[in-house]
Amino acid sequence: MTTLQVKKPIILTGVVNWLEWLDYIGSKLELATWNAIRSGDQSFLLAEPRKPLLIDFNPAATIEANLNTTQARAYKNARSHYKEDLEAYDKQQKQLIKAREAIYSSVDERLCRYLEWNNDVYHWMKVLTGAISVE
């Protein structure tokens, strides 16, 4: 019988447990999200998709019935792609929120003062990297 090993929470206190803390935070996130955060690769971030509008397919359309067959098909195809893109965007946003919560809740009070809520997790990781070497 295989048992799932749950990682014991790690509180980042400084350089002494930095690597252990990184492993702990990484275990809480999807690998692609964690790799992007660790590397600082913000090109990983998805832009919020734009919902297709009827007027994109026919400037005079106010309801779907105003579209001809070709326009209606293109509109439905665009809506389908939009829904897929929105799902991926929402999933990524949830992962980034989870990352913020995991980081903030696992940093000691001394280091927590460097984490400002108006900054993203990429900035937080950069700040923490610098802070642990000074503290």
Q: 105 phi and psi, to 5 degrees?
A: -80, -5
> What is the pLDDT at residue 129?
95
Nearest to 135, CA basis, from 31, 49, 15? 15
> What is the pLDDT at residue 5?
60
pTM for the model stands at 0.83
> What is the pLDDT at residue 8?
86
> What is the pLDDT at residue 64?
96
Amino acid at 99: A
**pLDDT tens digits in sequence order for the chain, 135 residues long:** 555 566 689 999 999 999 999 999 999 999 999 999 999 999 999 999 999 999 999 999 999 999 999 999 999 999 999 999 999 999 999 999 999 999 999 999 999 999 999 999 999 999 999 999 886
> What is the pLDDT at residue 134?
81
Neighbours of 120 (CB within 10 A): 14
Task: Report the SS3 class of residue 107.
Answer: strand
> What is the pLDDT at residue 135?
65
Eight-state DSSP code of residue 56: G
DSSP-based helix, strand, coil % in the chain, nearest 5: 65, 0, 35
Q: How many Å apart are CA 34 and CA 50, to the nearest integer?
A: 26
Q: How many Å apart are CA 121 and CA 131, to the nearest integer?
A: 15
Amino acid at 98: K
Question: Looking at the DSSP assignment, which residues form a beta bridge with residue 107?
Answer: 12
Nearest to 100, CA basis, from 132, 122, 128? 122
- Residue 127 contacts residue 40 (beta carbons within 8 Å): no
